[in-house]
Amino acid sequence: MPGSENDNTLKILVATDNHLGYGEKDQIRGNDSLVTFEEILENAKKHEVDFILLGGDLFHENKPPRRILHGCIALLRTYCMGEKPVQFEYLSDQSLDFKHCQFPTLNYEDPNLNISIPVFSIHGNHDDPTGQGNLCSLDLLHSAGLVNYFGKTTNLEKIEISPLLLQKGSTKLALYGMGSIRDERLHRMFVHKNVTMLRPREEKEDWFNLFVIHQNRSKHSATSHIPEQFLDDFLDLVIWGHEHECRIEPEWNGTQNFYVSQPGSSVATSLCEGEAGKKHVGLLQIRGKDFKMTKIPA
Ligand SMILES: [Mn+2]
């Protein structure tokens, strides 16, 4: 890509449902999830992405074994820190966007940290916040300065999602995220119009609107999934986490006028039909209002 195009293209490594720690007691496959995660980080480095976007369930368990948490920390420190400068600007208010975190700041803007590849992540249903302090493993990684944990909702009556606003050259990205919420509850909130997505006030039409969600997409019962029609039609692309089957090629929803990409789990967590296919992560390139998703085998 020529220099000027590169300057205006946001490159994002997209992965979801890494399920670190899946089958960790298995003598043979016990390290698979960490090995796969390392390959993903290698790819991010190789393709010189601007950032990594994770769609939830980074960990398989709410309280991952120490070996797994440590393995993840070691990998993030190895691959995501370094001299390479971060080449996009952050335009929204980090103190509001990360107000749910003890350090309401972006890791790569912290003068005490040297981040080369920022990681942005929402939580999934396996690694959701619980217990005293309502914390999850991503809170630990955020406070350690290794990830930027967004999309945590603290009000379960009414959700207002304001986007993280990023800009690289002429490309402007509004990044919306919503960590996993029990499907029935979220379904009800959508029906009662208690979920609102806020939009940037200025030059509304110039933004590429990307939403990352971690819910049931396939219809298990009437209310235990989130129909695509519930989502706002101003969105350009939805990254759908939680569903483990790889359907990463963006699928056009003609009613809503947006694309949906479902990367699927990066590690096989069952041998059911939907999961038997090849696993992929995605290299998402956004330029203006256009995007391209390239599959990378996981
Ligand atoms: Mn999940």
pLDDT digits (tens, 9 = 90+) for 61-86: 999 999 999 999 999 999 999 999 99
Ligand 1: centre distance to CA 87 (Å):
31
Q: Render the burial of 116-136: b for 16+ CB within 10 Å, e for the rest.
A: bbbbbbbbbbbbbbeeeeeeb
Please tell me the predicted confidence (pLDDT) of residue 298.
81
Looking at residue 31, which CATH number applies to its domain? Answer: 3.60.21.10
Reported as a single tens digit per residue, the pLDDT across 248-270 is: 999 999 999 999 999 999 887 76
The pLDDT of residue 276 is 63
Evaluate whether 200 touches 163 at the Cβ level (below 8 Å): yes
pLDDT digits (tens, 9 = 90+) for 129-153: 999 999 999 999 999 999 999 999 8
On average, the pLDDT of the chain sits at 94
CA 275 / ligand 1 centre spacing (Å): 14
Domain that holds residue 170: 3-297
Total structural domains in the chain?
1
Q: In angstroms, rounded to a whole number, what is the distance separating the alpha carbons of residues 274 and 70? A: 31
Q: What is the pLDDT of residues 26-48, one digit of tens each?
A: 998 899 999 999 999 999 999 99
- Measured over the CA atoms of residue 145, residue 41, residue 120 and residue 61, the dihedral's sign is negative
> Which residues are near ligand 1, the ion (C-beta closer than 5 Å)?
57, 124-125, 242
- Give the active site residues: 126
Q: What spacing in Å lies between the alpha carbon of 241 and ligand 1's midpoint? A: 7
**Distance from the alpha carbon of residue 210 to the mean position of ligand 1, in angstroms:** 19
How many Å lie between the centroid of ligand 1 and the Cα of residue 137? 15
